[in-house]
Structure 1
Amino acid sequence: MAVPHYAYLEMKMPGTKGIITIAGDYKKSAACAAASSRLAEALVIAAEKKLLDRVVAMASKQPDLSRDPKESETQGSFQPAKETKKIPLDPNHPEKFAVIGAHLHRK
């Protein structure tokens, strides 16, 4: 049942012997707001610096010239299980299918 008044930095609430008023300190409030603003800015700068360092590291990597580029296009990092089967998704479109394990049921 407390009612905060942000403009006056006061909070009022009912008490057993009347209304209880709690007053804030403008200087302390301004100092706290400034400190939290500096902290937020520092956190954003740190996150952006970390992201920038990652981008620079990725950009500075030397390409591996010993590998055949055509080989890397045909082989992805994901390899399916050895025993798989194709399940058609739509009988009218045979090019649309799902690949599942050979030992799984169709449904």
Structure 2
Amino acid sequence: MMNKVFVDGERGLNLIYADTLRGMNRSMTKLPATDTTFHGIIPGKAAMPLGRISLDVVFGSPDNFRCERLDFEVVNWPSQYHVVLSRVALARFMAVSHYAYLKLKMLGPDGVITVSGNFTHSDNCDKEFHKIYESFGMHEVFEQLKASTGLEQSPVAKNPAHQPEFNKKADTKEVQVHPTDPSKTVIISTSLPPA
């Protein structure tokens, strides 16, 4: 059972991560080749998947489920997700997604199957993404720096300057927005320049 699945209804490729396959005890040797190339993942370079794999994907419960065979591009990148399902997967399952409610619905043999997400879980995945994104592709940059400078250590990140705390009373003011009705006001920043 995978509990970190990202549904991307705008993309046309299903992705599965090498770590996910390792966790499933699936061999990645002799994967069929693929002609897919990814751009914008590693800065300045094209990235290639390890290959392609077909897997059965099941939604629902033992008494009401749908199973379809999907093709996945196998990628060896760090990710907070197990797989990414595309619009192709949604079409195959004839599923309807509602991103605001984190719901996925599809017809099963005994009625509608509803897959519900969790907002806290989703938020944690988003936070993990930002940690991964900051370092993604940087090991290649560090290798290039090491080769050109001979230094073994990566550059030290600068600590951000101290940001003052926001104080509503000191940092905002109330401004009347209606010329004749003093009850109609808005609160704006005191550091905004005059119009």
Which TM bucket (shorter chain)? 0.3 to 0.5
User: Higher helix proportion, which one?
Assistant: 1
TM-score for the superposition, normalised by structure 2: 0.27
User: Higher strand proportion, which one?
Assistant: 2
TM-score for the superposition, normalised by structure 1: 0.45
Structure with higher RCO (Cα < 8 A, 6+ apart): 2
